[in-house]
Amino acid sequence: MASAKISVVIVGAGIVGAALALHFARRGAAVHVLDEGAQAGSGVTARAFGWVNIVNVVPGAANYALVQEALAEYARLQADLPGAFAAARSGSLFWLETVAGTEAFAAAHRGAGADVELVDAATVAAWEPALRQPPACAIFSPRDLALDPARLARDLIDAAGASVTFGRKVESLVLSGSRVRGVRLADGAIEADLVILAGGTSVDRLCENLGFRTGVEASPSIILRYSCAAPVVTRILRGPGLEIRQSPDNRLHVAKSYIDDRQENAPERMGQRILEVMQERLILPEGVALAEAAAGYRPVFSDGLPRLGFLPDVEGAYVAVGHPGVILAPLLGRLAAEHVLEGRRPPLVPAAGLK
């Protein structure tokens, strides 16, 4: 599809779908975004921690170079749409259990080309005075961003000027011979030259009638949000047992790994335990309370890489899905638009069964 004068339906209005909408619309495509949620970013994007970073990725990981490129893409997006990042905060502090471990991790990042530096306890204490016991040293990652992914998804769709339909579930793809012609809703169909599946873990449901599966799996994680009356932390803090950021409304946001489905590990129970941890490690104002505890199901693949490309053996259908979606979204949007509309092949995303 070398011409930009095509109609595109994007299924999924999360952060990835929103980035796709922006890049396709800006290259002249007529874009229509569909989502069963009430607004953009209301699915798993709303349950994302909102940390755009390299420091939390292990150097040498399969997606490390991809994340580095994604951060450069975010810098371009910030310059292009500064209003969408007005509430974003930059910089994070990351430390491991031991000084030696932190130093080795910093050295590995620097060796991989990441812009990070080591700071000592006095610096950490000056930057984050609410920390009761600052680590002896921490990795400072200045290019990291803390942002509201759902808000960014809405801003990207607004900037795209795309037509949108919310609160409507896509039942299936419309197939004519070996070509996808659009999508079917409960009360009709929407035709398109290209359908892009960007709905995270739901993509395989829509591929069923094509006899294809991407292999996407749902990986649960927990997001906890706490009401707070005053500023506590300036940067994202990531230390043993605690990963926390604060938004401009003073809400505290904490990300935790999912453990299991036992009642004691339910999101609400975990939220209360983490509040105790925060009280031990941070000087908190009175009245901090758990406001939200929810699980989100991230779309992941066994090799840790996203999927970006045309579905095999059928025309008119494209997939854009993977984790970490918040970090990769602007890059995936640009690569997909260049791939489809300009005939380029995505240089950083493996085909992995897609064309």
Q: Is residue 81 part of a domain?
A: no
**Per-residue pLDDT for 4 more than 50?**
no
Q: Is residue 352 part of a domain?
A: no
* Per-residue model confidence (pLDDT) at position 128: 98
Q: What's the domain count of the chain?
A: 2
**Per-residue pLDDT for 64 more than 90?**
yes
Parent domain of 324: 7-47+151-216+302-342
Q: Are 156 and 208 in the same domain? A: yes
**Per-residue pLDDT for 2 more than 70?**
no
* Per-residue model confidence (pLDDT) at position 345: 74
**Per-residue pLDDT for 354 more than 70?**
no
Cβ neighbours of residue 257 under 8 Å, at least 6 residues apart?
Answer: 221, 222
Q: Are 156 and 201 in the same domain? A: yes
Tens digits of per-residue pLDDT, 159-186?
A: 999 999 999 999 999 999 999 999 999 9
The amino acid occupying position 263 is Q
What does the block give as tokens for 340? 């489809």
pLDDT band of residue 95 (cuts 50, 70, 90) is very high
Exposed/middle/buried for residue 27 (C-beta within 10 Å: 0-12, 13-18, 19+): middle
Tens digits of per-residue pLDDT, 135-165?
A: 999 999 999 999 999 999 999 999 999 999 9
Q: Are 163 and 250 in the same domain? A: no
Q: Are 222 and 212 in the same domain? A: no
**Per-residue pLDDT for 351 more than 50?**
no
pTM of the model: 0.94
Q: What is the largest CA-CA distance in the chain?
A: 67
HSE-CB at 92 with a 13 A cutoff on CA atoms is: 25
* Per-residue model confidence (pLDDT) at position 192: 97
Mean pLDDT of the chain: 93
Tens digits of per-residue pLDDT, 260-302?
A: 888 888 999 999 999 999 999 999 999 999 999 999 999 999 9
* SS3 call for 8: strand
**Per-residue pLDDT for 3 more than 50?**
no
Q: Are 35 and 163 in the same domain? A: yes
Q: Are 177 and 42 in the same domain? A: yes
**Per-residue pLDDT for 355 more than 70?**
no
